[in-house]
Amino acid sequence: MPHQIRNPRARKIVEELFPATGQKRLDQLERLDPSLSQLLEEVVFGGLYARDVLDQRTRELCALAALVVLGRNAQIRSHILASLNAGATRAEIQEVITQMLVYGGFPATLGGLDVMLQVWAELDGS
């Protein structure tokens, strides 16, 4: 059963930043645990991501940096795409990942760069 997004701010974030993955994730969680799906909608998409303190580009680059340091390669892909959707350039994304060498070390940074290269290949059709 698909998750019905009730919060208009959450819907806007899903449509603008996570068009390929946001609704799929909400639907997946809806099947597993509807209350968890609702939490993701309200707390993440309709809460933190809807705040006006940071622009979405900055917010996504921060999320990307954190995910690289943590080595969360599955989520790095989604946030590279969200960064592009928010207006970040490929050069900015690469630089953010590269800067994480200081905080996460070579393994985390190289993993992030590997994911980035996979995303570029997919987007470029190579």
Q: Model's pTM, two decimal places?
A: 0.89
pLDDT at 126: 80
56-124 CATH choice from 3.30.499.10, 1.25.40.10, 1.20.1290.10, 3.40.50.300: 1.20.1290.10
Q: 80 near 64, Cβ under 8 Å?
A: yes
State both tokens at 97.
């990942």
Which residue spans of the chain are classified as CATH 1.20.1290.10? 56-124
Structure tokens at 6: 């009730």
Cβ–Cβ under 8 Å, residues 16 and 55: no
Question: Which positions of the chain have pLDDT values less than 50?
Answer: none
Q: Burial level of 10, CB count in 10 A (0-12/13-18/19+)? A: buried
* pLDDT tens profile 64-99: 999 999 999 989 999 999 999 999 999 999 999 999
